[in-house]
Structure 1
Amino acid sequence: MKAMKRSTLATLINATLFSAVAGTSFSALAEEEQAKKNQLEVIQITARKRVENAQEVPVSVSALQGDNLNAYSSAGMDIRFMNAKIPSLSVESSFGRTFPRFYVRGLGNTDFDLNASQPVSLVVDEVVQENPILKGFPVFDIARIEVLRGPQGTLFGRNTPAGLVKFDTVRPSQEFDGYAAVSYGSRGAVDFEGAVGGSVTERVSTRISTLWQEQEDYIDVKAPGFEKEDSLGGYSEQAVRVQFLYEGDDFNGLLNYHYRDLDGRPIAFRANLIEAGTNNINPLYDNDVVYHDAASRSTQQVETQGLSLKLEWDLPEHTVTSITAWESAEIYSRADVDGGYGADFLGFQGPGIIPFASETADVIPEHNQYTQELRLSSNFSGDYNYQVGIFLFEEDLMIESYSFDTFAFDAGLGQYGAQNGYAYQDQDTSAWAVFGSFDYTVSDDLKVTAGLRYSDDEKEFYAKRTKNPTPWNGSPDVLDGTANPSDSHVSWDLSATYKLTDDVNLFGRVANGFRAPSVQGRILFGDEVTVAKSETTNSIEAGIKSDVLDGQGRVNATVFYYQMDDQQLTAVGGGSNFNRLVNADKTTGYGFELDTEWVLTDELNATFNLSYNKTELEDKNLAVAVCAQCTVTDPTYMVEGANGPEARAILDGNSLPHAPEWIANATLRYTKELEDGEFFVYGDMSYRSEVDFFLYKSVEFEGEALFETGLRAGYMWSEGDNEYEVSAFVRNLFDEQVVIGGVDFNNNTGMLNEARFIGAEFKVKFF
């Protein structure tokens, strides 16, 4: 490759000159160069808002970059590619390519409401992405992804008691460079992404990054009377990011604008996908088959955009940083949620029993988020340094919820599926914080860090229903509700790093995290606005970060324990189909994470990562509504509900939903110089163990373990000033088919993982 050739040429020149002057042998330098080539690169991260060696940071953090990131995220993959690719991290969604839900060390939120709060925060280019729709922005032209496990309540603040996922995009530079990649794959999928950047003037540089992805509908509808081939599963997505960087003598400014437009279909729900009394997949189904009667009206449109301005002043002993940002999201998503056709009362239904039809739409017509961070960082040459700052957050959000009668004709629109229910939510959130982090070098081997943050959070919430879609339950058409929760909290952390040897660091950390009160007011199918009070987490972790085998291996390991008080949980669905927020008295978790990376030979590199997470709810009085048709294995008792007697499952002792105990992943990359280029084969595997889809345990809604394998092979070569790559790839090599989520209020509805995907890609890098 070109970079390799330049490095070799530089070695030859330096070796010749140095040998002539000092008599040093060329062979010694060549051996030194080869040794460096076989060493792992130093991973630089910004987990503490400054550039540091990942091996010296007292935080359990994993970074995804380089070949691993390119292989996982390329060729049309959305952000869910991260599922089980990093220890203790899982990702799922009931919306498809948008609204991802992140879980770290078992902590997350299964709520599908567009106002859902999550304990894992997503930060992109130092700007928090609070609303769940913002979190689904496509992954392209990314320099690095970092996952910070455990509470991150000091530097990153509210709503990070479980951890943080952090994206850093490729920044502009004065050097001209860029790339373009196009791929074609299964189901008519086409993917293009590219970027170009360089200097505009001696002080101004720019970078423009773009993405275009498209896939044809490939899922056939086989419901009697509604048969249609290639009806669902397709999408068309475009995104762009434009950046301008000004670099002065003592001042830098970075302007970032990004935009996304998605027009596609929602994830395909499948009625009675899970066979009763088991968690087996109904043999009627395959990945390309559904039995909908409302597929023709299923649609999902998403539009997000944002603008941020980062300003930095370099003072003699300090750096002042200001980050001002605006983010906005809009979505319209309509789906056949019951996943089948007909209904029991019609005498025409399937597959299996369909008690009633459910066709709904969730909409964000208006959303704006404004954030401002201002921080002062010292650059002292002595033993003491610090960061202090303030943070402001404002969000205005409106949500609309629609229900449709699948069997009623809408004369105005000339189609079935007339609207029969409507409700909306309006929420304003204001939050502010002051924070400080202080580093002290006790000795050459021991460094300690302490941090404090004061957070203040307030919400004003109003919800109103103007049409009740289920009048038989006795509830009025017109209903409203309000909530105005607020709270403040001091979060903190204390950590230390001890250099045992030049290649081995030990670290320990205790930390406290906080999630502000949450509101659930999706009153389309319920009569109550519920509020979950603040949750707090206390966590302790200790670990080792080591470089071994003269830099050819890296082994990092962490053990942890946490206790969460008043954990915010969402009782999703149940036979009454009403989401309710609750607090659990106490939740505990413990486990370990192992990250390893190896240079096995000159031509073979490998990684192996493993995590174990054990979670447990401890609340003898906490009980939730259960599914309509599944087999519940928790202890239950009966209560009188809106539609008659309803069962409640006691949750004490249960693990958290979507919290796999085991996550493992491994990669292997083989390269071989061939002719004037390099042949490569890249393989990866990921595994996550069984998960429960809901707070209660049932036979049907326990998801089986998911094992997925990917393979990529190709050839790279240089020509002129460009580098080229052609490759073929396959995702989910063995076509594993697993239920990854469920809908429990009607029948044993579920969603399947992505089927095997085969494709080819051509990529060019230019300099």
Structure 2
Amino acid sequence: MKAMKRSTLATLINATLFSAVTSTSFTTLAADEQAATAQSKQLEVIQITARKRVENAQEVPVAVSALQGDNLDAYSSAGMDVRFMNAKIPSLSIESSYGRTFPRFYVRGLGNTDFDLNASQPVSLVVDDVVQENAILKGFPVFDVERVEVLRGPQGTLFGRNTPAGLVKFDSVKPSQDFDGYGSVSYGTNDSIDFRGAVGGSLTENLSARVSVLWQGKDDYIDNRAPGFEQDDILGGYTDRAARIQFLYEKDDFSALLNYHVRNMEGTPIPFYANAIKTGSNELVDGFDGDVVYHNAAAREFQVVDSQGASLKLEYDFANYTLTSITGWESAEVNSRGDIDGGYVGGPGAIPDQSESESGLPDHNQYTQELRLSSNFAGDFNYQAGVFYFDESLTIENFGYNTLAGGALYGYVNQHQDTTAWAVFGSVDYTVSDDLKLTAGLRYSDDDKDFVAVRKIVPADLSACNFDLMQCETDIIRTEDASDDHISWDLSASYKLTNDVNLYGRIANTFRAPSIQGRITFSNDVTKADSETVTSYETGIKSDVLDGRGRVNASVYYFTMDNQQLTAVGGSANTTSLLNADKTTGYGFELDTEWVLTDELNATFNLSYNNTELKDDSISIPVPARVSNGLLTITDPMVNGNAIIDGNSLPHAPEWISNLTLRYSKELGDGEFFTYADVSYRSEINYFLYESVEFEGKALTEVGLRSGYAWADGDYEYQVAVFARNLFDKQQSIGAIDFNNNTAMINEGRFIGAEFKVNFF
């Protein structure tokens, strides 16, 4: 490996700090360094579609980060689901109380802890140009993906409703006339197997196709030690299968891309550990073992997901315009049954109530249609204009079971929700001069929801009323509707300070549509939250430095959110309720850097700070009853048994997120040896709206390694690698169930594996 000169390292460190703090050009530093050393490699230009046009990421006036190539491969090792991106990108965190099937995204501290199957999120997911609204759709496996983009801040003008925090965008590898493909297989801890592959090429002169497949599996490895229910290897396993087939027709100025994708996942839900958190601290109890549970319903726990979807993208270029039509259909089914209290009668610790429940999505369909006209003028003025339509129908089933009666059904609620939304939008780009470009966007959105919930308690003598939770009826029907319209807008400016340094500023406003919740198994109430609106202000710098061998992007932002939709999760019962907070404010900064340190050593370093604060002294929320007997330590002010949350940060909103990667490669024989290392960190988080000692998640640091050898032979490229995720086996609570006991969810333990991959052309 070539030695890195001391002056190079000093310049790198100074450049990073100088850019983040002062947003100043690196022209002089780059010139000095170029004279000091002659180095050949440069960072590649990253092309993104954050504004529905292919653009250089360094010239887009939006805080955006992209994952691709080695970073994407390394992070997704070990059969990881979409949560592998947690803390890998500035201001992005992801968590789930379902496991692989229901990810919840948070950007700049804004997200939603709601676990109901009709929950909306303020971070939208768009896969191959189609919005994935339901949280089950967001868990589709990540494979044969060309690029992942994370757009921070409101994205309502071009992407619509439910984007006040930002957007995560996946783009699959598309078919082409060139024949190519790959196959990879890995084996690791707990007999995990991960196979993925793809092949594509021309079928005719104008038609090409690509088929992508994924098969992931892990054996059950968690033992049950509840007295009378002992069984080895009963939880923790899964089999996840997915496939995608695409056909691309291209002739003259017309193209048509057909995409069909399907998924089947069978396994068990994320395990819950009763009283795993010490009272009076946020430490796991002494002797905690993540490979052991004490469930009296473990034999009945399961999780099954089936989803499929299709899209058709038509594009026609004529004269100075491009007409784009994107038609999408998505459908999902899920059933997940778990031992929610995480224990058995008698332990571990005090468990006031046995809780066993199941949530299902037996019927779901989503239809979307976008029609967009984009100009391609050679002059200073360009625009996009379009219309969008969204229709979703879903049915939810919630089941309650009597664990002490062998899992007999005693509670059932059926919910149905229809959502229709439509919008018209436009965006204008104007080049004021060679250095200054302006963008303005506007979108009118109309949203309507109809909701009905029907409760049937079977048998009647075991109705919810018998649990002394409330005075209630046995069989009830509740209906609710919500509608709203909103005008979203954004204004941005990009100024080219030098050929390598761009400054930008952006103001944006958008909304999250009204939400309705009605998990009325143990409640009579259907709750509704009005639309939340956000206005965000940000400015930043995007710079290529050291003659293209470094990239430093930094941004600072401030937002105010009115009527933020909050979800009070748990408290006195295993349910959720919606409410609006008067105001929430947030501010922070983000630093996103890449470096070619030597011809053999590359690095990235990312850092973000996000501060959120609820501002509403009229809101109080219920907390678990065991606060009164000292088993839970609430740190918020209490009034009439409720916690006052004014001034709290938002749940699952870490202030600090950082990530460091290093990649070293060295020619060896007829191939290349490589080593890739990454370290991710996120600071403390609160699990709930209220703050407590036990339910403050500790800071989490995880380390990953990947080392291997790559070589080529004719039209084939081969790679063998060994890898580890969570190298130091750092396990701690990452979530909790609060209504019954100090039940914890924990992060994945250390995973070690080996992989073989072949690319062919």
- TM-score per shorter chain, which class? over 0.9
- Partners of 1:576 and 1:297 lie apart in 2 by 22
Q: Pairwise mapping of residues 298-697 of structure 1 onto structure 2 (< 5 A)? A: 298-342=301-345, 349-408=346-405, 416-467=406-457, 468-471=463-466, 472=468, 473-629=470-626, 630-638=632-640, 647-697=641-691
* Deviation by residue 1:256-307 (Cα, 9 ceiling, x = unmatched): 0000000000000010010111111012421211110100000000001000
Extract structure 1 runs of 4+ deviating beyond 4 A. 34-37
State the AA in 2 paired with 1:420.
Answer: Y
1:282 aligns with 2:288: no
Distance 1:276 1:464 in 2: 38
Amino acid at match of 2:296: D
2:194 maps to amino acid: D
Which residue in the other structure is 1:28 paired with?
none
What is the rounded CA distance, in whole Å, between the counterparts of 2:386 and 2:180 in structure 1?
Answer: 35
Q: CA separation in 1, counterparts of 2:264 and 2:210?
A: 20
Whole-Å separation in 1 of the counterparts to 2:77 and 2:39: 29
AA at the equivalent of 1:350: G
Letter in 2 for 1:687: Y
Would you say the 8 A contact 1:75–1:761 is kept in 2?
A: no
The correspondence of residues 28-47 of structure 1 with structure 2, limited to 5 A, is 37-47=40-50
Q: Shift of residue 35 of structure 1?
A: 7.0
Residue 173 of structure 1: aligned partner: 176
Q: What amino acid is the match of 1:431?
A: A
Q: 1:268 maps to what in 2?
A: 271
**1:327-347 deviation digits (Å, cap 9, x = unpaired):** 0000000000000001xxxxx
CA contact (8 A) 1:465 1:479 kept: yes
**How far apart, CA to CA, are the structure 2 residues paired with 1:675 and 1:165?**
41
Structure 1: give runs of 5+ residues left out of the alignment: 1-30, 343-348, 409-415, 639-646
Contact 1:553 1:596 (8 Å CA) reproduced: yes
Name the aligned partner's letter for residue 49 of structure 1.
Answer: K
Question: C-alpha displacement at 1:424, in angstroms?
Answer: 1.1
Who is 1:752 aligned against? Answer: 746
**1 CA distance for matches of 2:307 and 2:445?**
27
TM-score (norm 1): 0.92
Q: Is the 8 A contact 2:436 2:493 kept in 1?
A: yes
Does residue 698 of structure 1 match 2:692? yes
Partner amino acid for 2:639?
Y
Trace 1:80-229 onto structure 2 (pairs within 5 A): 80-229=83-232
| 2:64 partner amino acid | V
Secondary structure of the residue aligned to 1:326 is: strand
- Any idea what the Cα deviations from partners look like across 1:131-153, whole Å, max 9, x if unmatched? 00000000000000000000001
Aligned-residue offset at 1:648? 0.7
Show the counterpart of 1:708: 702
The AA in structure 2 aligned to 1:633 is: T
For structure 1, which segment, 628-637 or 271-280, has the greater mean C-alpha deviation from structure 2 after superposition? Answer: 628-637
Query: Given residue 486 of structure 2, which amino acid in structure 1 is its aligned partner?
Result: H
1:37 Cα deviation after fit: 4.8
The more displaced of 274-283 and 237-246 is 274-283
Which residue in 2 is equivalent to 1:255?
258
Q: What amino acid does structure 1 have at the position aligned with 2:443?
A: R
CA distance, structure 1, for counterparts of residue 343 and residue 536 of structure 2: 45
User: What secondary structure sits across from 2:703 in the alignment?
Assistant: strand
Distance apart, 1:474 and its partner CA: 2.9
CA distance in 2, matches of 1:329, 1:91: 21
Provide Cα deviations, 1:440-489, integer angstroms capped at 9, x if missing partner. 00000000000000000000100111113443433111012111110000
User: Out of 242, 246, 251, which is 1:243 matched to?
Assistant: 246
Partner Cα distance (1:303, 1:283) in 2? 39
Do the aligned partners of 1:433 and 1:453 also contact (CA within 8 Å) in 2?
Answer: yes
Whole-angstrom distance in 1 between the partners of 2:760 and 2:384: 39
Unaligned runs of 5+ in 2: 1-33, 458-462, 627-631
For residue 526 of structure 1, give the secondary structure of its aligned residue in structure 2: coil
Query: Does the aligned pair in 1 maintain the 2:619–2:645 contact within 8 Å?
Result: yes
Closer, same or farther: CA 738–257 of 1 in aligned 2, 3 Å: same
2:113, 2:446 → 1: CA distance?
Answer: 25
AA of the residue aligned to 2:139: G
Q: 1: distance between equivalents of 2:283 and 2:63?
A: 37
CA distance in 2, matches of 1:368, 1:257: 15
1:403–1:469: 8 Å Cα contact kept in structure 2?
A: no
Q: CA deviation at 1:127?
A: 0.2
1:720 aligns with 2:714: yes
Q: Secondary structure at the match of 1:350?
A: coil
CA distance in 2, matches of 1:665, 1:766: 32
Conserved? CA contact 1:369–1:393, under 8 Å: yes
Work out the CA distance in 1 between the residues paired with 2:527 and 2:451. Answer: 11
Compute the displacement of 1:74 (Å).
2.8
Task: Find the residue that maps to 2:314 and give its secondary structure.
Answer: strand
Deviations for 1:167-221, whole angstroms, at most 9, x for unmatched residues? 0000000000000000000001001000000000010000000000010000011
Secondary structure (helix, strand or coil) at the match of 2:403 reads: strand
Conserved 8 A contact 2:78-2:751: no
Range with bigger deviation, 460-469 or 436-445: 460-469
Letter in 2 for 1:258: H
Between the aligned partners of 2:39 and 2:401, the Cα distance in structure 1 is 64
Q: Which amino acid aligns with 1:663?
A: I
Q: Which amino acid aligns with 1:662?
A: W
Query: 1:70-109: per-residue Cα shift (whole Å, max 9, x none)?
Result: 1101330100001000000000000001100000000000
- In the aligned structure 2, how far is the partner of 1:142 from the partner of 1:533? 36
The equivalent residue for 1:24 is: none
CA–CA distance in 2 between the matches of 1:738 and 1:63? 29
Cα distance between partner residues in 2 of 1:175 and 1:717: 21
1:36 CA drift (Å): 8.4
After TM superposition, the score normalised by the length of structure 2 is 0.93
Q: Which residue of 2 aligns with 1:22?
A: none
Equivalent position amino acid for 2:268 in 1: R
Q: Name the SS for the 2:159 alignment partner.
A: coil
